[in-house]
Structure 1
Amino acid sequence: MEWTIQELAARAGITSRTLRHYDHVGLLVPSRVGENGHRHYDAVAVARLQRILLMRRLGMGLPAIAEVLAEEVDTCEGLRAHIAELEEERDRVERRIRSVRHTLEALQAGAEPRMDVMLSGFNDLYKDEVISRWGEHAFQVSNDWWHGKSLDQQRAWKRDTDDLVAAWVAAAKAGDSPASEHAQSLAARHVRWLSQIPGTPTAEGDRERSIEMVNGIADMFVDDPRFTAMYDDAAGAAFVRDALRTYARTRM
């Protein structure tokens, strides 16, 4: 099946002049040119045009597009790359939709003072740390999980998190030993809390990486002021660190 230049331009939402320019610069030559000089395009040419238009939407210039296409081994490989890029674009749009939906839901609920927290990603503040320690996949999966929650579900999760932190602080102030049964029960609760977050080693049941993760997070409570502040002071953070490290060493 072939399309004339006018048919292809209409279907692609561009002008015939654009297609002629692509031909002129060697980016998209017609499949054949009739005796009357009319350009015709087959399925292979249309597939190439799809790639060109996608890259144009991504902001790439024609020279850069030509370089990418020249490096492609075959059309099927290019189409697979095309699909991957479209899927990434779809995921970005879906995340924006979820964010706007949460904003609407929060406004309808009365726009609480902490609405900014509800609308932020689950681990946006720690994106670099998450990616460097556990990879891009862990960050994205956990953020998608968070944005997939309703406003009430986010509130409930944050209440549970605050309750866990408060229990840690109370145990530290009471002078509990990090190895005590109470401290170890809090450590077990903390690990269960982590295992609810998709993308983490604890959620995926990877024992070796889970131990590494728990130890890494334990150290961050002391090393990173943002985490230390959650537990009132350095002593409280050190108590949580030691309890988690003991749990990882003896009970995981």
Structure 2
Amino acid sequence: MEAIVQAASDRTPLRGGGRRDAWTIGEVARLAGVTTRTLRHYDAVGLLRPTGVAAGGRRLYGRTELLHLQQVLVLRELGVDLATVAEILADGDDVVRRRRLREHHARLLAERDRFDRLARTVESTLRSLEGGIEMAAKDLYAGFDNSQYDAEARERWGDEAVDRSNASWESLGKEGRAAFGEESTAIGRGLAERMAEGADVADPRVQALVARHHRQIATFWTPDREAYIGLGQMYVDDERFTATYDAFAPGLAPYLRDAMRVFAESHLE
């Protein structure tokens, strides 16, 4: 990422005068740490167009494109899907671009702070284990702040539904919660494998995994057709959910959303 920023701001004059204003697709790929295939895909979907074509058919990119690619990669690091990235970056106005960069910077700083807190918690746990000193129970979870999610859930679904969901989670017990997590991981991995194989979302193997996902959700509440479809859409609209599923494989969140719609339309009322 630093290399591409340096290239975009490079004022080194070229032989014969002037400064460099164009890079080939291979050079941009090396600077950004991505593949030329990725850049060609970005071109195909209209996310990053080259400025021209060099002799031999190689794509050429200018300084504006380098900075645009940086913003694409920053948003991808933050777990934003490509369709949303395209919407966010649609306006190329300089004022808008600077505002976006400030927003990205603030989000990255917030993420850095969050991971710093988690790293300190893990470090304290290691010292505790190695020194034979028992940590206070509350200190085991320093850095984990789920209050915002609880507040959002209460605003979206109401106190009664959230309280019922929390009670269901607690009733699972330690072993039940561990098993729930293992099943969630198994479902995510299974879906990622089917997606990698190119399986259609209506494929029976995919739908079997979605049925397991629905059973998990039903542990806390029983969504009807509309609610389950809405939940799938939320996995794409909310970057936190998108990041969770895309951690198994990029693009898994929209793949699951589409599979959930097929399941809902076939099995739910």
TM-score by length of 1: 0.45
Higher alpha-carbon Rg: 1
Structure with greater contact order relative to length (CA < 8 Å, sep ≥ 6): 2
Q: Pick the structure with more helix per residue.
A: 1
TM-score by length of 2: 0.42
